[in-house]
Amino acid sequence: MCGRYSFAIEDALILERFGVRVRTAIYITRYNCSPTQNLAVISNDAPDTMKFFRWGLIPSWAKEPSIGSKLINARSETLVDKPSFKNAFRTRRCLVPATGFFEWQRNGKNVAGNPSAPTPWNIRMKNGDAFCFAGLWDKWVSGNGEIIYSFTIITTSPNQLVGQIHDRMPVILLRADEQRWISPQPDPSLVELLKPYPAGLMEAWPVSQLVNSPKNDVPEIIKQIEIETL
């Protein structure tokens, strides 16, 4: 799964990289993007504007918005069949800009024989460039008229690098495929894009447990640490 990521880029570079406008009054660099937060997306209904949707998809037919906390990810292998995702895949796709993401590696047991705390890893492009996850979005309206726009990040099997850390990874789109993903028309062939990103273009390093708390949203979260060995 993908449960945390970073989007730390100067707002002046957003137009240059993504070709979208952003209101600088509401954009801030984020080192610890977490579920249920309002985060940057580029949706296929407004591909020239950066919007802010809640992370955790709330299907339009849902009775309560709380379902969103269970739908932060959509498995690429089953999204065309799942009621929560299949309609969104047809008509409500989005790009989720990022500069890195986090996965947790299980470490076995410590010297006392108890399970060790998983080690978080920061994973990003070797050249440091920003990129986009493949996402889906939806619009939910409550009985009293409250409107919530939300999104989910699609996941797939890991590449060779991420596979050493976790058994899933988010779908990262090649830059050449980003505009195709947010085309306004249904396109069943888009499933071809839902595959692991080339491992040779990525790098990863362990980071501190600071990332475990959404309250911690500081640059220290993405800094490399040394892993203690027995």
For the annotated catalytic residues, the residue numbers are 2, 103
Are residues 98 and 5 in contact, defined by beta-carbon separation less than 8 angstroms?
yes
Give 209's DSSP letter: G
Sorted by sequence, the CB contacts under 8 Å of residue 152 that are 6+ apart come out as 55, 56, 57, 71, 72, 73, 74, 85, 88, 135, 136, 137
Contact present, 203 and 126 (Cβ < 8 Å): yes
Show contacts of 76-83: CB within 8 Å, 24+ apart. Answer: 76/154, 76/155, 76/156, 76/171, 76/191, 76/194, 76/195, 77/156, 79/136, 79/154, 79/194, 80/188, 80/191, 83/59
In 3D space, the residue among 211, 216, 229, 124 whose CA is nearest the CA of residue 170 turns out to be 124
Strands 51-55 and 147-156: parallel
Between CA 89 and CA 102 the distance in angstroms is 25
**Among the listed residues 95, 96, 99, 94, the one whose alpha carbon sits nearest the alpha carbon of residue 29:** 99
